[in-house]
Amino acid sequence: MAFEGELLALLPRLRRFAAGLSRNAADGDDLCQAALERALKSRHLWAEGTRLDSWMYRIMRNIWIDEARARQRRAKTFAPEEEGENAPDPGDRRIEAAVELSDVARAMARLPDEQREVIALVLVEGFAYREAADILDIPIGTLTSRLVRGRNALLVELGEAA
């Protein structure tokens, strides 16, 4: 149970990451659940003695990316049936989104996935650049340039640009 126990201790942080990642915060716990299930299934792949948190963040992020790709494919394949007369107009959707999200959440949601995940890992989860780059499996130069772009976009969006 040591493995489960450690995951249990990580859960609050995983939920926070999931909420940051999934744009629509409502999906955060679904993402969390999917990540836990995958982790339990592939626990033999975790090398004991390595950081479980980094491993879990990686799993969660990969599920999220897979899902985002699948969603894009679906969107290209067929238009949802809602796009008939009952579909809300875009202005309606905008207001709906605005009612739902605070400014910070909205600004985060507008970032491209690749910038949002970097922001979530470094600024919210507090990982060092090197650790975050390892989790995302990208070179550190790529990480820093995404971080700078993401940060600047957030500053503009939140009206805090210096």
Partner 1 sequence: MKITDEMLVAFADGELDPEVHAHVERAIAADPELGRKVEAHRRLRQTLTHHFGPIADEPVPEHLKALLTGQDLAAPATVVSLAGVRARRVEEAEAKRRWRPGWGIAAAMAASLVLGLAVGQNMGGSGPVAISGGTIVAQGELAKALDRQLASAQAMGLPTRIGLSFRSKEGSICRTFAGQAMSGIACEEDGRWRLEQILSGGRKATDYRQASAADPRLAAAVEDMIAGVPFDAEAERAARDADWRQ
Minimum Å gap between C-beta 103 and partner 1 is 4
Assess 11 for contact with partner 1 (CB under 8 A).
yes
Residues whose CB falls within 8 Å of the CB of residue 139, separated by 6 or more in sequence, listed in order: 133
Closest CA to 129 of 62, 161, 138: 138
Assess 21 for contact with partner 1 (CB under 8 A).
no
* Residue 4 parent element (H or E): helix 2-21
Q: Compute the CA torsion angle 34, 122, 134, 65 (nearest 10 deg).
A: 40
Q: How would you classify residue 111: left for phi > 0, otherwise alpha for psi between -120 and 50, otherwise beta?
A: beta
Minimum Å gap between C-beta 129 and partner 1 is 5
Q: Compute the CA torsion angle 55, 56, 61, 67 (nearest 10 deg).
A: 120
Nearer to partner 1, 19 or 135 (CB): 19
Site string for partner 1, 30-69 (x = CB under 8 A): xxxxx-xxx-xx---------------------x---x--
Site for partner 1 in 85-144 (CB under 8 A): 86, 88, 91-92, 95-105, 108, 119-120, 122-124, 128-129, 144
Residues that bind partner 1 (CB under 8 A): 1, 4-5, 7-8, 11-13, 15-16, 19-20, 24-34, 36-38, 40-41, 63, 67, 70, 82, 86, 88, 91-92, 95-105, 108, 119-120, 122-124, 128-129, 144-145, 147-148, 151-152, 154-155, 158-162
